[in-house]
C-alpha cells in the first residue's frame, strides 16, 4: 500500500517510465543538479544520455552531450528512486 506523498509520487513516476519503455519511448529525468538546459534521457535498453535541450524558433531541439557509463547511469537512477 502506498502511504506517503513521496511514495505516491515515485509510484506514479515509475508507472510513466514503464509506459514509455513499453512504447519504446525514452524517459526524461530532470535534475536540479544539472546546469539549466540539460536533462537526462533514459532508454529502454538501459542507456542514459545527458542532453542539452533548446529551442530553434518555435521547435524544441536536443543534442546528446554524452552517454553515461553504466555505473554513472545507475547513480542517476538511484538518486531519482528508479532502482
* In contact, 51 and 64? CB cutoff 8 Å: yes
Q: What average pLDDT is seen over the chain? A: 93
For residues 59 and 11, what is the distance between their CA atoms, to the nearest angstrom? 32
pLDDT score of 63? 96
Residue with cell 524517459: 27
The CATH code of the domain that includes 69 is 3.30.160
* CA–CA dist 34, 27 (Å, integer): 16
> With bands split at pLDDT 50, 70 and 90, how would you rate the model's confidence at 6?
confident
Structural domain harbouring 74 = 5-79
pLDDT digits (tens, 9 = 90+) for 24-59: 999 999 999 999 999 999 999 999 999 999 989 999
Q: Place 61 in a pLDDT band, splitting at 50, 70 and 90.
A: very high
pTM score: 0.86
Half-sphere exposure of 20 (CA within 13 A, CB side): 17
- Spatial neighbors of 45 by CB under 8 A, at least 6 apart, are none
For the chain, the domain total comes to 1
Amino acid at each position: 500500500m502506498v502511504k506517503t506523498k513521496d511514495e505516491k509520487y515515485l509510484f506514479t513516476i515509475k508507472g510513466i517510465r514503464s509506459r514509455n519503455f513499453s512504447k519504446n519511448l525514452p524517459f526524461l529525468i530532470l535534475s536540479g543538479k544539472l546546469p539549466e538546459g540539460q536533462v537526462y534521457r533514459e532508454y529502454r535498453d538501459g542507456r542514459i544520455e545527458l542532453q542539452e535541450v533548446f529551442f530553434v524558433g518555435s521547435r524544441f531541439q536536443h543534442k546528446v552531450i554524452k552517454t553515461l557509463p553504466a555505473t554513472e547511469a545507475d547513480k542517476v537512477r538511484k538518486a531519482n528512486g528508479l532502482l
